C-alpha cells in the first residue's frame, strides 16, 4: 500500500538531520539529480539517497510515495528548469522554438535523469505549466482547436523524442561514443561510389552534420509546416455555417 505523504506544512517543522540539513522536496530532488549524474539510474536507491542526505531512507517517504513518485518529481523539476525565466513575446513561432530548445536542453544537460524520466507523464505543476504555455501560444496565434492539439502533440513528442535519443547517446561510455562518431569517418566516408553512390556523395556533409543533434533542424521543419497551415487557414474565406440536422 502506498505510504501517506506528509503535508508540506508538517514537513517544514521537522528537525534537521544530524548534519544540520533541513529536508525538503526540492533538496531531495536536487540530490537525486546529482546522484544520477554521478552514478546513473542504477545508483539511485532509497538507501543511497538517505546516506547522501544523512537521513534514514524511510524519511524519504514523508515526501514521496516511493521511488517512482520521486522519478516523476525529477522529471517535473527538469521541465521547471526549462521554463525558468521564459516569458512569451507574442511571436508564436519564436516562443515555441524557445520552449522546445529549453526543454530539450534541460533534458540533455541531465542525460541520466532524462533517460529515466523523459517518457513519463508526471501530471505535476511544471509539466502542466509547459503544456498550458504551448497550447496558449498556439491558440493565441490563431490556430483552430484541432490544429492546436495536432501541432502541440507533434511538438511535444518531437522534443521529448530527440531528448531521449540524444540523452541515451550521452549516457554511453566515452569510448563507445567516440567509436560511434568515428564510424562516420572510418566507414561512411570511405565507401566507394560504385557501391554506395549517394552515401559517397553526401559523405563530406555526413561526417560533420551527423555529429550534432538534428533537433533544431527538425524543430524548424515542424514550425515551417505549422506556419504554412496557419497562413493557409487564415487565407481561406469563411464558409457557410454548418447547421445541425433538423435546424
Whether residue 23 contacts residue 55, with contact meaning beta carbons closer than 8 Å, is answered with: yes
* pLDDT above 90: residue 3: no
pLDDT band at 217 (very low <50, low <70, confident <90, very high): very high
Q: Please report the DSSP string for 209-230 in residue order.
A: HTTS-SHHHHHHHHHHHHHHHH
Average pLDDT of the residues in 5-24: 63
DSSP H stretches of helix in 84-214 = 92-109, 111-117, 125-141, 145-170, 174-186, 197-209
Whether residue 36 contacts residue 112, with contact meaning beta carbons closer than 8 Å, is answered with: yes
CATH 1.10.357.10 fits 66-229, yes or no: yes
Residues 6+ apart with CB under 8 A from 58: 50
Average pLDDT of the residues in 158-180: 95
Nearest-angstrom CA–CA distance, 2 and 20: 29
Average pLDDT of the residues in 123-139: 97
Q: What is the pLDDT of residue 247?
A: 39
Nearest-angstrom CA–CA distance, 123 and 138: 21
Name the pTM for this structure. 0.85
Q: What is the pLDDT of residue 43?
A: 87
The string of pLDDT tens digits covering residues 172-192 is 999 999 999 999 999 999 999
Q: What is the pLDDT of residue 13?
A: 38
Q: What is the pLDDT of residue 232?
A: 85
Nearest-angstrom CA–CA distance, 37 and 175: 18
Nearest-angstrom CA–CA distance, 116 and 43: 12
Averaged confidence pLDDT in the chain: 89
Specify whether the backbone of 246 is left (phi greater than 0), alpha (psi in -120 to 50) or beta.
left
Amino acid at each position: 500500500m502506498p505510504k501517506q505523504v506528509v503535508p508540506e506544512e508538517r514537513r517544514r517543522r521537522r528537525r534537521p538531520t544530524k548534519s544540520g540539513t533541513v529536508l525538503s522536496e526540492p533538496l531531495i530532488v536536487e540530490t537525486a539529480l546529482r546522484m544520477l549524474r554521478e552514478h546513473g539510474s542504477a545508483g539511485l536507491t532509497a538507501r543511497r539517497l538517505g546516506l547522501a542526505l544523512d537521513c534514514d531512507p524511510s524519511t524519504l517517504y514523508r515526501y514521496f510515495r516511493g521511488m517512482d513518485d520521486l522519478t516523476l518529481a525529477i522529471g517535473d523539476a527538469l521541465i521547471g528548469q526549462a521554463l525558468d525565466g521564459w516569458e512569451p513575446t507574442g511571436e508564436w513561432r519564436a516562443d515555441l522554438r524557445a520552449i522546445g530548445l529549453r526543454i530539450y536542453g534541460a533534458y540533455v544537460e541531465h542525460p541520466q535523469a532524462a533517460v529515466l524520466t523523459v517518457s513519463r507523464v508526471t501530471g505535476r505543476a511544471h509539466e502542466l505549466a509547459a503544456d498550458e504555455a504551448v497550447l496558449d501560444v498556439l491558440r493565441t496565434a490563431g490556430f483552430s482547436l484541432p490544429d492546436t492539439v495536432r501541432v502541440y502533440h507533434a511538438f511535444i513528442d518531437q522534443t521529448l523524442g530527440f531528448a531521449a535519443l540524444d540523452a541515451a547517446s550521452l549516457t554511453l561510455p566515452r569510448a563507445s561514443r567516440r567509436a560511434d562518431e568515428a564510424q562516420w569517418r572510418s566507414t561512411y566516408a570511405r565507401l566507394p561510389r560504385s557501391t554506395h553512390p549517394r552515401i559517397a556523395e553526401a559523405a563530406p556533409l555526413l561526417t560533420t552534420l551527423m555529429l550534432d543533434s538534428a533537433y533544431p533542424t527538425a524543430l524548424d521543419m515542424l514550425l515551417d509546416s505549422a506556419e504554412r497551415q496557419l497562413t493557409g487557414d487564415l487565407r481561406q474565406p469563411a464558409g457557410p455555417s454548418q447547421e445541425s440536422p433538423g435546424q
